């Protein structure tokens, strides 16, 4: 069975990882806000960047800020699991780290 992220990213193989991540998350989470920051340059000299199966990989570390109604009623752990499940193919193919801020629209409004 093909996952949502595999089917979405598989449609346009020429996309960058950031574009694929954004497309998967937009399709699955219907976010009212989706900020994606590539922080890979801050980790360029880490061991996993210089050795191993993904040595020299780019787009390996992302900071994501997502506001989505899909997160309503979900714990913080469940939200994180959801995002990791959606991005599993990317995580298996060199995406190394995600820094996540995951909010509902009500939480975002309260924080403003």
Domains in the chain, ordered, with CATH? 4-111 (3.30.300.90)
CB of 40 closer than 8 Å to CB of 59: yes
CA 82 to chain centre: 10
Residue of 107 and 13 predicted with greater confidence: 107
Look at residues 108, 97, 95 and name the one whose alpha carbon lies nearest to residue 19.
95
Q: What is the reported pLDDT for 39?
A: 83
The pTM of the full predicted model, rounded to 2 decimals, is 0.77
Q: Is the dihedral of CA 60, 66, 70, 71 positive or negative?
A: positive
Instruction: Kindly report, residue by residue over 77-110, the tens digit of the pLDDT.
Output: 999 999 999 999 988 888 878 999 999 999 999 9
């Amino acid at each position: 069975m093909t996952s949502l992220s595999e089917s979405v990213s598989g449609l346009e193989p020429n996309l960058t990882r950031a574009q694929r991540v954004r497309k998967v998350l937009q399709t699955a989470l219907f976010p009212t806000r989706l900020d994606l920051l590539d922080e890979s340059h801050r980790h360029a000299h880490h061991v996993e960047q210089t050795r191993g199966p993904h040595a020299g990989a780019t787009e390996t570390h992302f900071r994501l800020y997502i506001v989505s109604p899909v997160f309503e009623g979900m714990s913080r752990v469940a939200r994180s699991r959801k995002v990791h499940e959606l991005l599993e193919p990317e995580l298996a193919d060199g995406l190394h780290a995600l820094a996540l801020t995951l909010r509902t629209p009500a939480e975002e409004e309260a924080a403003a």
